[in-house]
Structure 1
Amino acid sequence: MRLTNTFSGYQRHWLMPDITAGLVVAALITPQAMAYALLAGMPPQAGLYAALLPVLVYALLGSSPVLAVGPVAVISLMTFEALHTLATPGSADYLHMASALALLTGLWLLLFYLINLGRWTTFISHSVISAFTSATAILIVISQLKYITAIPLPGSGSLWQTLTHLSRDYPEAQPAALLMAAAALTLLYGWQWLMPKATRRLPAWLSSLLNKAGPLAAVVMGIVAVQASGFTIATIGELPTGLPALVWPALTPEQWQALVPAAAVIALIGYLSSLSVAKALTPVSTSDTAPQPAADAPRLRTNQELLALGLANLGAAVSQAFPVAGGFGRSVVNRAAGARTQLASVVTVVLVALVCLYASRLFVDLPYAVLAVIIVSAVLPLISFSDARRAWRFQKGDGLVWLTTFIAVLAAGAVDGILLGMVLSLALYLRRSSEPHIAEIGRVGDSDHFRNVKRHQVTTCPQVLMIRIDENLYFANSQYLEDVICERLQSSQDIRHVVLVGSAINHIDFSGFETLQHLLNKLRARNIQLHLAEVKGPVMDQLGKTSLLDELSPGQIFFTASEALRTLGHC
């Protein structure tokens, strides 16, 4: 465990940019945190608690200088989906289970850290993540319609049930809630469009603060509108004053067991989404060549991120909060506001703590409709179908994974949907690797280069069959290699030598070894000799532990395919 990037080598001229960025993010996270708590089925103060100790822990341990950790929309929805069937949202049992879910999420992340899972950053395909994000964003938008319309929609119903109730009960929508939501939405999008133009001549720090203060302005507008107009509209009421008490979540063994699978998925999604944000915001140089990390940019340590996020979630567990992760929107704002280190997050924590201590009563008249609009405006940019189109055009299998994951998340929920996407993605990978590209190769002209006989004009020898497998040789594809070679032998009676070119083989498992041994005996029975060429060192080390190399004689092991063809075919 180590403290990284926050105080090590800190320079004095970074202080003001960090303070400014911390102030900007605090203005953004205060309304967002309460809104995301609402999304998770938690009281608004739980969102503020999630922006305190967890953020501070990550600030001390995280390796990204600008990643803003705290409550995020997707993880909040996954929290709700994991808990709403086990307890009533907002109840004491529900709050305890949310803290327990954060604890288990943190423990899963720490387990990933101990087994060095940080190196496996492509565990879930991009198609699965993209489809999951788009579908989850749609679910989030629909889940907020009950606050925007004030129609009592079922909080735990399926997507179809929610839409059915909405289409049937829309006459019951409250005009005051609709009007408040429309005003907040107009203010947010108008703010994004007008404020950058109005603040062009202001100092950079002030301009950045004002440009990102749209959610805070919507909160102020909602409170003032309720107080001035006397609207009968649902508001969050008075929040508890003070900082959260540190409490260890206590559940029954059955309740802990019920939360384990959901916590594992939340941990994986939270880590991958946080890591992708941190990588996207890593400073790059502006050279004429391909972008590279800037020379003075701290190095992002993937496994350190697991440790930091794991302990941040443990911090959420003991401070009456719910699972947290790195947020894309806040992280972008953090960097744009000039943050140089995680000291900006420490400043944010101090300011949110002051809100909890002294300003919680200010939000008594804050309408739920405004918080719902803040959530909707934050997640709408996540809905994108361009990835699906690109994946389908590039490879139908990836497009199918995207579509299946998207539909499954909408129909079955975030956890089950992403698990199905992962399984399908793995199944298609095994399907592709079980029938890898296997090419018969020949010499290109008089050179030492060898290419596929079906794609290039090459020279071959009738007595020598040269086969290249473009995949590792393991249990799923070893039989396929044998079948391809036997099929090729049936088309020619002149072949006396088979050369297996292993330039693309990095690993052979025991099934692959047994296939080579069986192939050797099968060819020998037909008076055909097996040879190897361009076998990599690690593979030779594996084969050296077996008797295959001895049994191969009089077959040979050639350094290059060219050497094999000259020796065996005399050409």
Structure 2
Amino acid sequence: MRRYFPILSWSRSYSRDTLASDAVAAVIVTIMLIPQSLAYALLAGLPAQVGLYASILPLVIYAVFGTSRTLAVGPVAVASLMTAAAVGKLAAIGTAEYYAAAIALAFLSGLMLLAMGLLRLGFIANFLSHPVISGFITASGLIIAAGQIPHLLGIKAKGETLTALVMQILENLHNINIFTTVLGASAVGFLFWSRKHLKGWLLARNIGPNLATVLTRAAPVAAVAVTTLVTFVFGLDARGVAVVGTVPQGLPVPTLPPFALDLWSQIAMPALLIAIVGYVETISVAQTLAAKRRQRIDPDQELVALGACNIGSAVSGGFPVTGGFSRSVVNFDAGAQTPAAGAFTAIGMALATVFLTPLLFFLPKATLAATIILAVLTLVDLGAIRRTLAYSRTDGAAMIATILVTLAMGVESGILAGVALSLFLHLYRTSRPHVAIVGQVPGTEHFRNVDRHAVITAPDVLTVRVDESLYFPNARFLEEFIQEKIAVNKAIRHLVLMFPAVNAVDSSALESLEAINQMLKDSNVTLHMSEVKGPVMDRLRRSHFLQDLTGDVFLTQYDAMAQLAPDLTRKTLAACRRNTLRNGGQ
């Protein structure tokens, strides 16, 4: 029960001090989450209150099922963008069909995550390499930021790609609303300044560190309050400033998604992509924060927890949610000790939904756009391109390709291209495994690459070390490599396959080994093996390969050379030792 309900573990030691720490963290996160949830709902093309709905029940559910002590679940920028991209193809923004499709998307995504967790399929997320994920998030951040510029300028412009957005913005620049622009620019400037300098400014005026931190986190709330008041006092809504308008007051009414087969078939792929990307982001944040406190995260249980959170979001009228980086870090820094901090945050969000929504009527959408822009710019890491290229050109190329495809063709195409690139790069790298000819290091029983070390080799023995598992993409490569070496060196009478790094040999590779054995036999060369791992030997014993092998299988490479070239091997071992003893004696 504790495995599937981690709350049974941490709740047993819950104390008054822990309660105080969690409550303080919840207050800080609630202050931060209110404007974010409103903004991300609008980013997803949904009414503002839907963001509040998606920030209540999922937090309570995660407190029951989650294994991270500090992860904060809720609406995030990338998932909101992916929601808008997926649902926008099915219905018009603002319609009941659009809202219903977003709920169905969260529900189906949650079911997929839940099934993956119960089947322990967390490894699926590994198909997205870090450079690809980094490139996708960077590109998504740029699209999100560009998509908020029209709200800052008071113009209309839409587009799923950066190119389409920029073109529409340029075409509508003549329709700029000066009041909206001033409000938006002021909000952006204030939020940017507060993030960089507000805490230091407060500390310089003898404000306590804890209070300074809370006030800094509350800067977006201050921006919301001031711009809302200015809009109300000066009647800017009548002068073209877009406002949030009426926000229904009260807690969400439990609902069920539409169970239309045609709708589910259309959102199946977007739901899977949101599930995988959301899980990758969630587990990355959770593991990073857990490592700082030497805590443990269960990846498969996190799938269950995130799936349950999305189902809870759908049932409560929300949209897809995941673990947010910025609010999780704030939760961690604020001293949260258990997932109960999330449940307390949910209480705060529920109170905001009940009591604060009437005050949001005159909230300018430009202020929410400024909040989104400042939040997503932390996701954009263009410097990672240079760092990745410097380390690996193929990984750097994959990152650049993912960014370009996402910017040019949209988020779904970008993530699909990223998955395809990740798989292609894996197959490409492993199709040409590192293979080395090795020799004996003088004075030792160790064998190393002849191209990197001063080693001794026997003229009639060729030892080939394979540094990767053998399977269908690279099986033929080993055949061709050995055939080439045998063809150019007629003196070879023995060939030893050294397998210390081979963890698996699939059926295709087994056929290649059988072909190598037969080819060497026809060339009057005996095939031997050394340092074969137990699991590999177990599988080879289930075939006829070992019976047909022309040579032997040795426990160590030294054992192999001691039998195949005994004089040279022992002299190589002894000569250096004699020199060492002689030098030591002197």
User: Which bracket does the TM-score occupy, shorter chain normalised?
Assistant: over 0.9
Query: Could you tell me how far 1:6 is from its partner in structure 2?
Result: 5.2
1:463 aligns with 2:432: no
TM-score in terms of structure 1 length: 0.95
Three-state SS of the structure 2 residue aligned to 1:484 is helix
Q: Is the 8 A contact 1:236 1:364 kept in 2?
A: yes
Read off the aligned partner of 1:16 and give its amino acid letter.
A
Post-superposition Cα deviations, 1:385-433, rounded to whole Å, max 9, x if no partner, equal 1211111111110011000000011111112101111111211211111
CA distance in 2, matches of 1:403, 1:263: 25
Query: Could you tell me how far 1:121 is from its partner in structure 2?
Result: 5.3
Aligned to 2:377: 380
Alignment partner of 1:247 out of 255, 268, 272: 255
CA distance in 2, matches of 1:32, 1:49: 12
Q: Is the 8 A contact 2:160 2:409 kept in 1?
A: no
Residues 432-447 of structure 1: pairs in structure 2 closer than 5 A: 432-447=429-444
Aligned to 1:287: none
Query: Could you tell me how far 1:191 is from its partner in structure 2?
Result: 2.1
CA distance in 1, matches of 2:243, 2:523: 84
Deviates more, 1:37-46 or 1:53-62: 53-62
1:337 aligns with 2:298: no
CA distance in 2, matches of 1:192, 1:446: 62
Q: Structure 1 segments of 4 or more deviating over 4 A?
A: 201-205
Alignment partner of 1:33 out of 34, 37, 46: 37
Q: 1:311 to 1:157 in 2, by over 3 A?
A: closer
Post-superposition Cα deviations, 1:94-113, rounded to whole Å, max 9, x if no partner, equal 00000000011101101211
CA distance in 2, matches of 1:459, 1:343: 64
Post-superposition Cα deviations, 1:190-217, rounded to whole Å, max 9, x if no partner, equal 2224431244344554333212001101
Alignment partner of 1:64 out of 56, 68, 91: 68
Q: Is the 8 A contact 2:398 2:421 kept in 1?
A: yes
1:476 aligns with 2:473: yes
Three-state SS of the structure 2 residue aligned to 1:122 is helix
CA distance in 1, matches of 2:144, 2:97: 23
1:221 aligns with 2:226: yes
Aligned to 2:235: 230
Read off the aligned partner of 1:530 and give its amino acid letter.
L
Aligned to 1:182: 185
Aligned to 1:280: 288
Alignment partner of 2:142 out of 138, 144, 155: 138
CA distance in 2, matches of 1:199, 1:271: 37
Three-state SS of the structure 2 residue aligned to 1:258 is helix
Aligned to 2:584: none
Query: Could you tell me how far 1:75 is from its partner in structure 2?
Result: 0.4
Read off the aligned partner of 2:558 and give its amino acid letter.
S
Three-state SS of the structure 2 residue aligned to 1:439 is strand
1:566 aligns with 2:569: no
Q: Is the 8 A contact 1:22 1:334 kept in 2?
A: yes
Post-superposition Cα deviations, 1:349-391, rounded to whole Å, max 9, x if no partner, equal 1111111112210101000000000000100111111211111
Residues 485-524 of structure 1: pairs in structure 2 closer than 5 A: 485-524=482-521
Q: 1:6 to 1:175 in 2, by over 3 A?
A: farther
Aligned to 2:422: 425
CA distance in 2, matches of 1:371, 1:41: 13
Aligned to 1:290: none
Post-superposition Cα deviations, 1:42-93, rounded to whole Å, max 9, x if no partner, equal 0000000000111111122111111110000010000000010110112100
Read off the aligned partner of 2:560 and give its amino acid letter.
A
Read off the aligned partner of 1:208 and give its amino acid letter.
T
Query: Could you tell me how far 1:316 is from its partner in structure 2?
Result: 0.8
CA distance in 1, matches of 2:291, 2:402: 32
CA distance in 1, matches of 2:256, 2:244: 26
Three-state SS of the structure 2 residue aligned to 1:440 is strand
Three-state SS of the structure 1 residue aligned to 2:13 is coil
CA distance in 2, matches of 1:165, 1:540: 63
Alignment partner of 1:267 out of 268, 271, 275: 275
Runs of 5+ unmatched residues, structure 1 = 285-292
Query: Could you tell me how far 1:275 is from its partner in structure 2?
Result: 0.8
CA distance in 1, matches of 2:257, 2:125: 31
Read off the aligned partner of 1:222 and give its amino acid letter.
T
Three-state SS of the structure 1 residue aligned to 2:448 is strand
CA distance in 1, matches of 2:326, 2:105: 24
Q: 1:109 to 1:256 in 2, by over 3 A?
A: same
Read off the aligned partner of 2:61 and give its amino acid letter.
V
Query: Could you tell me how far 1:469 is from its partner in structure 2?
Result: 1.0
TM-score in terms of structure 2 length: 0.93
Read off the aligned partner of 1:81 and give its amino acid letter.
A
Read off the aligned partner of 1:565 and give its amino acid letter.
M
Read off the aligned partner of 1:353 and give its amino acid letter.
A
Aligned to 2:14: 10
CA distance in 1, matches of 2:512, 2:466: 14
1:85 aligns with 2:104: no
Query: Could you tell me how far 1:122 is from its partner in structure 2?
Result: 2.9
Q: Is the 8 A contact 1:84 1:156 kept in 2?
A: no
Deviates more, 1:529-538 or 1:115-124: 115-124
1:414 aligns with 2:422: no
Read off the aligned partner of 1:115 and give its amino acid letter.
L
Three-state SS of the structure 1 residue aligned to 2:527 is strand
Aligned to 1:453: 450
Read off the aligned partner of 2:167 and give its amino acid letter.
T
Aligned to 2:110: 106
CA distance in 2, matches of 1:460, 1:13: 68
Q: Is the 8 A contact 2:127 2:422 kept in 1?
A: no
Q: Is the 8 A contact 1:49 1:321 kept in 2?
A: yes
Q: Is the 8 A contact 2:125 2:279 kept in 1?
A: no
Three-state SS of the structure 2 residue aligned to 1:441 is strand
Deviates more, 1:516-525 or 1:253-262: 516-525
Aligned to 2:366: 369
Alignment partner of 2:351 out of 350, 354, 357: 354
CA distance in 2, matches of 1:362, 1:243: 16
Three-state SS of the structure 1 residue aligned to 2:433 is coil
1:552 aligns with 2:549: yes
Alignment partner of 2:398 out of 396, 401, 409: 401
User: What is the number of equivalent residue pairs in this alignment?
Assistant: 558
Alignment partner of 2:536 out of 530, 535, 539: 539
Query: Could you tell me how far 1:157 is from its partner in structure 2?
Result: 5.0
Three-state SS of the structure 2 residue aligned to 1:371 is helix
Q: Is the 8 A contact 2:143 2:161 kept in 1?
A: no
Three-state SS of the structure 2 residue aligned to 1:485 is helix
CA distance in 1, matches of 2:151, 2:266: 29
Q: 1:528 to 1:193 in 2, by over 3 A?
A: closer
Three-state SS of the structure 2 residue aligned to 1:466 is strand
Identity of aligned residues (%): 39
CA distance in 2, matches of 1:334, 1:6: 17
CA distance in 2, matches of 1:529, 1:161: 65
